[in-house]
Amino acid sequence: MIVVVCPGQGSQTPGFLAPWLAEPAYAERLGALSDAAGIDLASHGTVSDADTIRDTAIAQPLIVAAGILTLERLLADGRSEGIGGIAGHSVGEITAAAGAGVLSETAAMRFVAARGRAMADAAALEPTGMSAVLGGDETALVARLDELGLEPANFNGGGQIVVAGALDALERLKDESPAGARVIPLQVAGAFHTRYMRPAVERLAAVAGDSDVSDPGVTLWTNRDGSVVASGAAFVDLLVGQVSSPVRWDRCMEAFAAAGVTGIIEVAPAGALVGLAKRGLKGVPTVAVKTPDDLPAAIDLIEQAA
């Protein structure tokens, strides 16, 4: 059983769309996605620098558009019937919603553009950030977070938890981390998936109410708890609430294992989720689709599993 996974914010790098836009068909499709989002994604995916594409309002539509470009070729010619399901990490859940048919590509781009703007605005209200914590005891870490007023934002599995909150508290965590834990500050604009994002939830709920929604055509897992969601409307509700609640990617990987996963394909901009799978789903073959040149290996993995 092949599971397609869609990465979240932080997976983008300067110029990563250049190999895709070398093909006219991809350039044309990206133009349509740019129009839906109201952002020049071609420029941001080719010439914008790291600081520019770190902006939440730019990064999120850019990542979802790249995933949609990948999915269109990956799942063409009936190959969507050859995959066991799809899931996304954080904003990648919007890519997954498009891949599963819950949202049209146009609706997905409008939704993610609104999400990016709302989260950027929420992040601007207070100076906050995020740090990755590697290793250590999870119970001890959570207790330390409570003491500092921090929150776990992403349970990524494989001994990695991303935490978020006030910058001074994150600095204290780094200086006084639990035994065996290493704290790495992340270059992000705010404390995503925490209480600091509640203003964004309210705005996104209004956007969701105006979106046409269908039930998923393939198995679709949610970040909320790793469960399968069969209702498109319920999944969109979860997308809204997920902005201020933790990403449980650890439980998603546990669900993939329970379902009998035999291969993982990560869509562009790929790499992060394949890395987590190598630790959390040891021995499961993976393909990271970073450029169109990686598509044949991904397609071969689907066809071998059919």
241-290 pLDDT tens trace: 999 999 999 999 999 999 999 999 999 999 999 999 998 999 999 999 99
User: What is the distance between the alpha carbons of residues 39 and 113, in angstroms, rounded to a whole number?
Assistant: 8
- pLDDT tens for 132-170 read 999 999 999 999 999 999 999 999 998 899 999 999 999
For residue 118, the model assigns a pLDDT of 96
Region 83-104 average pLDDT: 97
d(CA 62, CA 85): 23
- Angle, alpha carbons 287-108-281 (nearest 5°): 25
At residue 217 the predicted structure's pLDDT band, cuts being 50, 70 and 90, is: very high
Active site residue 89: no
| Those residues with Cβ within 8 angstroms of residue 281's Cβ, 6 or more apart along the chain or in another chain | 253, 256, 257, 261, 264
Structure tokens at 61: 């539509």
Of 34, 177, 193, 211, catalytic? 193
Domains, the chain, ordered by start: 2-123+194-305 (3.40.366.10), 128-185 (3.30.70.250)
Residue 69 has pLDDT above 90, yes or no: yes
Quote the pTM value: 0.95
CA distance readout (Å), 172 to 149, 161, 175, 187, 252:
11, 17, 5, 17, 31
Per-residue CA distances from 42 to 39, 48, 118, 241 (Å): 9, 9, 22, 30
pLDDT of the residue at 187 = 81
Q: How confident is the model at residue 209 (pLDDT cuts 50, 70, 90)?
A: confident
In the annotation, is 193 catalytic?
Answer: yes
Catalytic-role residue among 34, 48, 80, 90 = 90
